[in-house]
Amino acid sequence: MTSEPYDAVVLAGGAAKRLGGADKPGLPVAGRAMVERVLDACAGAAVTVVVGPRRAIGRPVVWAREQPPGGGPLAALAAGLRKVTADTVLVFAADLPFLTRTTALALRAVLREPHDGAVLTDADGRDQPLTAVYRTAALRRGLALIATEHGTVAGLPLRLLTAELALYRLPDPTGSASFDCDTWDDLSAARARIREHGHVLDEWIAAAKAELGIDLDVDTSVLLDLARDAAHGVARPAAPLTTFLVGYAAALAGGGPEAVADASRKAAALAVAWGKEAQGSAGPDTATGAGGGGGTPAG
């Protein structure tokens, strides 16, 4: 299942009444808009549809709008599905700051016949139908039946659709992936949680890469070791300057994780050698320059 093409629909509309009408998907957590964080989780989708008002997005997406605007999750889902072509579709709310690609992969991995979808359940065991993957045909069929029965899908609750689907339930024991931000208190809790759950560095690197337009996964431990060696072996300011030079050298070499690793190894070896000299470990081979230019002994 995980090797099959899939699309994604991100619901980014709604009135956000409990947030005073603020643009909820655009509110930042750890320096990045929540909708951007959700879109990271959809990075492998063939087509990603964002349903809601257009806004600046740092990646290509297809835009859709529910009718009427503010018509609720069923109307938004129906609008998004019109742009979908894959047999399966991730469906996510745009206010999930801790959603990751790992969760998206896990949901897709458990979707098997005869289920119509797989939904995350929070720490209390409640279904989270906007943190889920579905069979596209099942959603379209269910929406068509609701529209026939009620004359519209606007303003109707999402449970009318999900109650008719055969769903696999995937637990989210910590409640992180399913944590959504409906209030200012929720948003404050999410921002505090970023610094409390031990992943500050990972969050910062992700935010910096997004801001700089870099899509590159490297071994951060290698760069941290290099910075340590440069700081200890040369001088403290050498750490940030050396890592900058490594990045620049890797770019000149064509970029990519291998280029970063190669430049890091060279710089680390130089820093270690420099540190040994500073510790007074110079022997006969280091006492003179590379040209071997010692003075002529007195006779």
Dihedral over alpha carbons 119, 99, 72, 164 (to 10 degrees): 0
Half-sphere exposure of 5 (CA within 13 A, CB side): 7
- Cis preceding linkage at 68, omega within 30: yes
Q: What is the pLDDT of residue 80?
A: 97
User: Could you give the residue ranges of the DSSP H alpha helices within 158-282?
Assistant: 159-162, 184-196, 200-212, 220-233, 238-252, 257-278
Q: What is the pLDDT of residue 222?
A: 81
Please choose, from the candidates 96, 83, 89, 78, the residue with its C-alpha nearest in 3D space to the C-alpha of residue 25. 96
pTM over 0.75: no
Tens of pLDDT, residue by residue over 152-165, are 999 999 999 999 99
Q: Which two tokens stand for residue 171?
A: 């637990």
Q: What is the pLDDT of residue 15?
A: 62
Please choose, from the candidates 10, 114, 127, 122, the residue with its C-alpha nearest in 3D space to the C-alpha of residue 66. 10
Angle at 80 between CA 128 and CA 169, to 5 degrees: 20
Q: What is the pLDDT of residue 232?
A: 83
Task: Using DSSP, state whether 12 is helix, strand or coil.
Answer: coil
Q: What is the pLDDT of residue 289?
A: 37
- The single residue listed with the structure tokens 């959700």 is 38
Question: 13, 54 in Cβ contact below 8 A?
Answer: no
Residue 144 backbone phi and psi in degrees, to 5: -65, -40
Angle, in degrees to the nearest 10, between helices 34-41 and 101-110:
40
Please choose, from the candidates 119, 114, 132, 120, the residue with its C-alpha nearest in 3D space to the C-alpha of residue 6. 132
Find residue 121's DSSP bridge partners: 127, 171
Q: What is the pLDDT of residue 286?
A: 40
DSSP state of 131: E
Q: Are strands 167-171 and 117-121 parallel, antiparallel or unpaired?
A: parallel
Q: Which helix (H) or strand (E) holds 35?
A: helix 34-41
Please choose, from the candidates 8, 206, 204, the residue with its C-alpha nearest in 3D space to the C-alpha of residue 103. 8
Q: What is the pLDDT of residue 298?
A: 39
Q: Which helix (H) or strand (E) holds 173?
A: none
Q: How far is 42 from 63, CA to CA, in rounded Å? A: 15
Find residue 135's DSSP bridge partners: 88
Q: How far is 291 from 299, CA to CA, in rounded Å? A: 23
pLDDT along the chain (299 residues), means of 10: 87 74 82 90 94 87 93 95 97 93 94 95 92 97 96 94 96 88 88 72 70 70 83 85 85 86 86 73 42 38
- The single residue listed with the structure tokens 């208190």 is 185
Q: What is the pLDDT of residue 16?
A: 66
Q: How many CB atoms lie within 10 A of CB 165?
A: 18
